[in-house]
Amino acid sequence: MPKKYHIPIKTAEPRHNTIGKYAIIEFREDCAGSCRECVKKKCIYGIFKENYMHLSTMNEPEYLYACHSCFRCVQECTKGIFSRVVNPEYRTLGDDYWKPEIIYKLWYQAHTGKVPVSGAGYRGPFVAAGFDSMWTDMSEIVRPTRDGIHGREYINTCFELSRRVSPLKFGEDMSLVSDVPPILENPIPLMLRLPDAFLSNKHIIESSAKAAQGLDTLLLLRPEDYSDALLPYARNLVPRLNGDNIMDHEDLILKSRAVELAFDSNIQETVRKVRDIKYDLVLIIGIPLDKNAASRAVELTHFDVDTLLFYADENGNELNAEHPRFLKEMIREVHLNLVNNFIRQKINLVFSGGIAMAEHMAKAIICGADGVIVDIPLLIALECRVCHRCRNGLSCPAKIDGKFDSEWGSQRMINLMGAWHNQLIEVMGAMGIREARRLRGEVGRSMWFEDLEMESFGPIFGKRKIAGLK
């Protein structure tokens, strides 16, 4: 049995006052000051004790980023001096997809490395668009014989990037005669990539490279982003090349374990050239996730490539479509097309775009992906607000356009991925699955709102459309 995968989590304090969801307004002129047990001391989350803003400035209102909305302070104060309101600045975070609550949770995970909890429980909509119309089957968690997900039970979260030879051939003496390429495994079903349309500088790049090394995963990087400072992390870097520049970057190819090649009409010739430079390299083909994605996947499976990486837009939508489908439908289409052609086991599928939370990673794998790409959440770990000011040449309110400690930045990213890994283990353990590869394509262990509604109400009311759901 392989050694348990461990992510080194360590608290990484935010550099700025985090924009909290709630403001606790305290009317101190009404405080009796003589209560034996002040409600501030009773806070089970230690908010009033640990919140540096509360201790140092005593501002009114006080934005408590770690507040879990349990209302205990509001309800139990004998003088009723506390009131809770929503922070108006919180509403300005993100956009329609990268919503404030997502950014808020990612900040917390990057800070602590822990899974966020809410004292008031989940209070959102029962169903919404995208991944929010899909649920996982947690029926195994009720078994009384379980040893505990983080106890004696071993759950393997690794996935392969190298091509699988099928069928294997053996000689008369039962020795293996098939030419089996080196196996490249990732201990966690995700890789890192900095989003092209967002802010990037040497501090962000170095932080990401250190995080990739700390997580023992891979960082996909443009050749122009390489520098001498990244030499210690070469084992964890994957250059993103194309048919026009591969001969200019032979040195990067020779010192890398994997290379990403952009898909074009001459991709077969490009693959041959790269194989001539380094034969045992793992080749990843970057493909736009459009209406031709499924057919291209079948075509490329017959080439000498290992992994197909499909790019949706940053919100997880199909590219170049008048009515784009969401990532989960596109993953399902590509996966099933390979299954129907009896070649799914030969190739690995990785998807990029719209992966915003840990549950999205698990749900993407259930739909048929082997792994996913994490991009924008890396910047959110650095306190990015997804305000898009950098796209307009404006200064960054989180100050990540300037100098900052790469050790701090990498730890924030590692903490975030550590929280995601723990959530993946919880989901798999609750489903009774001990291998991430076993989770791939297991839609029978999930529930889709569209299917449930059609089965339950379709015979009565027919098919209907809900806003945001297709």
Tell me the per-residue pLDDT of 121-171, one tens digit each, with 9 for 90 and over. Answer: 666 677 888 899 999 887 766 554 444 555 556 888 999 999 887 778 888
Average pLDDT of the residues in 214-219: 96
Last residue of a domain, one of 88, 106, 141: 88
74, 167: one domain = no
108, part of any domain: no
165, 57: one domain = no
166, 72: one domain = no
Residue 347 has pLDDT above 90, yes or no: yes
Task: Lowest mean pLDDT of 18-32, 177-191, 270-284, 434-448, name the range.
Answer: 18-32
Last residue of a domain, one of 61, 88, 115: 88
The residue type of 22 is: Y
Question: Structural domain of residue 235, as residue ranges?
Answer: 159-451
User: What share of residues in the chain are helix, strand, coil (percent, to 5)?
Assistant: 40, 15, 45
Q: In angstroms, rounded to a whole number, what is the distance separating the alpha carbons of residues 280 and 333?
A: 30
163, 64: one domain = no
Residue 217 has pLDDT above 70, yes or no: yes
Confidence class of residue 118 from pLDDT cuts 50, 70 and 90? low
Quickly count: other Cβ atoms within 10 Å of residue 116's Cβ.
16
82, 163: one domain = no
Find out whether 202 and 228 touch, Cβ atoms under 8 Å.
no
Average pLDDT of the residues in 451-462: 79
Q: How far from 12 is each of 8, 66, 143, 424, 465, CA to CA, in Å?
A: 12, 14, 37, 22, 44
Strands 62-63 and 134-136 come out as unpaired
Higher-scoring residue by pLDDT: 113, 167: 113
Residue 296 has pLDDT above 90, yes or no: yes
Residue 308, domain CATH: 3.20.20.70
Report pLDDT for 294.
96
Quickly count: other Cβ atoms within 10 Å of residue 91's Cβ.
11
Last residue of a domain, one of 63, 88, 113: 88
Report pLDDT for 261.
97
Report pLDDT for 392.
86
Residue 32, domain CATH: 3.30.70
Q: In angstroms, rounded to a whole number, what is the distance separating the alpha carbons of residues 66 and 20?
A: 7
Domain count, the chain: 2
141, part of any domain: no
Report pLDDT for 145.
46
Higher-scoring residue by pLDDT: 116, 386: 386
Higher-scoring residue by pLDDT: 10, 151: 10
Report pLDDT for 352.
97
249, part of any domain: yes
Which pairs count as long-range contacts for 387-393, CB under 8 Å and 24+ apart, including other chains? 387/92, 387/93, 387/94, 388/95, 390/198, 390/199, 391/197, 391/198
Average pLDDT of the residues in 164-190: 85
Report pLDDT for 144.
44
Residue 455 has pLDDT above 90, yes or no: no
Task: Lowest mean pLDDT of 238-252, 328-342, 375-389, 438-452, name the range.
Answer: 438-452
Tokens of 466: 């809900």
- Report pLDDT digits (tens) over 421-454: 999 988 888 888 889 999 999 998 898 888 888 8
Q: Which residue bears the tokens 């975030």?
A: 416
Confidence class of residue 304 from pLDDT cuts 50, 70 and 90? confident
Q: In angstroms, rounded to a whole number, what is the distance separating the alpha carbons of residues 213 and 414?
A: 10
427, part of any domain: yes
Residue 143 burial (10 A CB sphere; 0-12, 13-18, 19+): exposed
Confidence class of residue 236 from pLDDT cuts 50, 70 and 90? very high
Query: Helix/strand/coil (H, E, C) string of 196-223?
Result: CCCCCCHHHHHHHHHHHHHHCCCEEECH
Confidence class of residue 120 from pLDDT cuts 50, 70 and 90? low
Report pLDDT for 54.
46
Q: Assign 56 to helix, strand or coil.
A: helix
Report pLDDT for 58.
47
82, 228: one domain = no
6, part of any domain: no
Report pLDDT for 467.
44
Task: Lowest mean pLDDT of 15-19, 249-253, 332-336, name the range.
Answer: 15-19
Residue 8 burial (10 A CB sphere; 0-12, 13-18, 19+): exposed
67, 214: one domain = no
252, part of any domain: yes
Tokens of 327: 């990532």
281, 395: one domain = yes
36, part of any domain: yes
Confidence class of residue 37 from pLDDT cuts 50, 70 and 90? confident
Pick from 73, 111, 107: nearest CA to 90: 107
Report pLDDT for 52.
43
122, part of any domain: no
